[in-house]
Structure 1
Amino acid sequence: MLAAFATSFSPDSPLDGLQVGDAPEPVERENWTTVDVRAASLNHHDVWSLRGVGLREQQLPMILGTDAAGVAPDGSEVILHGVVGADGHGVGPREPRTLLSEHYPGTLAERVAVPTANLIPKPSGLSFEEAACLPVSWLTAYTMLFTVGGLAPGDSVLVQGAGGGVSTAAVLLGVAAGLEVFVTSRSEEKRKRALGLGAAAALAPGERLPRRVDVVLESVGRATWQHSVRSVRPGGTIAVCGATSGDASPAELTRIFFQEIRVQGVTMGSRDDLAALANFVARQDVKPLIDSVHPLARTREAMSAMVDGAQFGKIVVTP
């Protein structure tokens, strides 16, 4: 079958280790299901894998991809939850949590095997391309806003960085839930587009907010951390799902403990959260924002666009 996989690591030139070609069919396992992939979306996790983060040489070649939507053997249309081992379904009881494309082959392929319990019904109102955006970026944004952030209509949130999958999801979900959403971006064009999605204000990086927010969604790291700490209200929460610009330094610990700010890490979310997210977008008629769709054979071109950071929304690949 056709797949996109990592064959080597390069911290400075990650695409050098990306190859698209023939790969073995998924291995049949008890309590697992092989799904025909109809669409998968790219994530920064794929780039980090190509840089050698989370993978070892002996695991190569490894099929990349952590989320997808497709068709199960019984003909049902499903969304794949990419976290394996979170509660023992389909794996050994002592196996630590991992993501597809770390210990098990990922979703950038014509077919992928996942624990059967990880299959969530796809809402009929979403296309396969839209549904493929939910399991990583959209689930992460949902978890940060509602599960970790505990936000309710009328609350406020700052989303650091506009344009990526998590940030566009956070804006669309936040607006649909009645939140006051602030966004930052270096790009004036991306700030304008964020306002078009319903953000209350779109600011340049480091620009002072009209008032401190209840929750900050942080995925950038070093470049925005100080602004995040100084933009959240006393007793508020900073939810962290990544650090694309590197680890924060200094950590602003004095301000964090004195103002009793909670810092919570987030990696995707539970299957129950994914099911709740699917129901939410179906009922609110919220559609994931897709930047572009590429055939699986042109995954390198799709990945290059994400590495360059030029996208606004999710980049999707279809076998």
Structure 2
Amino acid sequence: MMQTWEQLQTIQPNVVRMLTNSILKDRVAHAYLFEGGRGTGKKEISIQFAKSCFCNNKTGAEPCHVCIECKRIDSGNHPDVLFISPDGLSLKKEQIIELQREFSKKSVEAKGKIYILEHADKMTTQAANSLLKFLEEPSGRTVAILLTEQVQQILPTILSRCQILNFKPLPPDLLLEKLIEQGVPNHLGKLVSSLTNNLNEALGILSDEWFAQARTIVIQLNEFLIKRGGSQALLFLQEKWMPHFKEKEQLNTGLDLLLLWFKDLLYILIGKENNIIYIDQTELLEEQSVGYSQKKIADHLALILEAKKRLNANVNPSLLMEQLILKLQEG
């Protein structure tokens, strides 16, 4: 989806300001490192930046988006804009050598060349050393854009040759706004924007019927917990919860949803109802909050976080959930 600098500025104001200024003043750096979490707009902004550099009809820093240059960049077919992604699990030396070979040729349009290196942290040592040589001896107007989610994995010698731009996570309220624009109901948008700051990932989660069922199961589990019917809750766990949260990642999401429920109970107790995530369940939350103190909820939150940690340490999922339910009921 085509976006303007103005639209991208709502996601990454500092990054956009720095890049557009460099374009307007014709002070484009030789190498950039875009670092930040998944879904923060690194690739979209690198494409927009390339379009701004090559567009023949731009207004200020804004590319026209319709000329042949812009269209070729959007489709990934521009001869002077190259995308390099890991070959398998890593970016290999051969890929960097091929890139150097490609860039030793004169640019087709005589405006220079741009290469965008995705997952730059996945370079092998040999690839990183080859890239380093390339960064030290640029040919013509060559611009490198390295994208990474793991900046600590990049060689310090490479970092020192790049202008580093930090991409901040998408704020939940901005993500919620974007989800509502896409027709997502407010109560589901609010919930999923608490689980991810990635728009595409959020839409993917919401398109899966599994997520809607997971939400219902979490609400039902809390009803069993509040009734203090120990055996009933364990039966529900075996019959409904475990068959639904089969994979480790699914169970982790289930624990996140449970965590958000208890946070909502805490918000009610401290009078911050505006922060509630399960907004369509306010009545039930208010009813349940009567049975809790702030300390008890804090203890429950700690138990769920501990269960998440143990899940990552490969504890048996069924046993882990049984122990968690019993501890939550003891509280």
TM-score (norm 2): 0.28
Q: Which has the higher contact order (CA 8 A, sep 6+)?
A: 1
Which has the larger share of helix? 2
TM-score (norm 1): 0.29
Which has the larger share of strand? 1
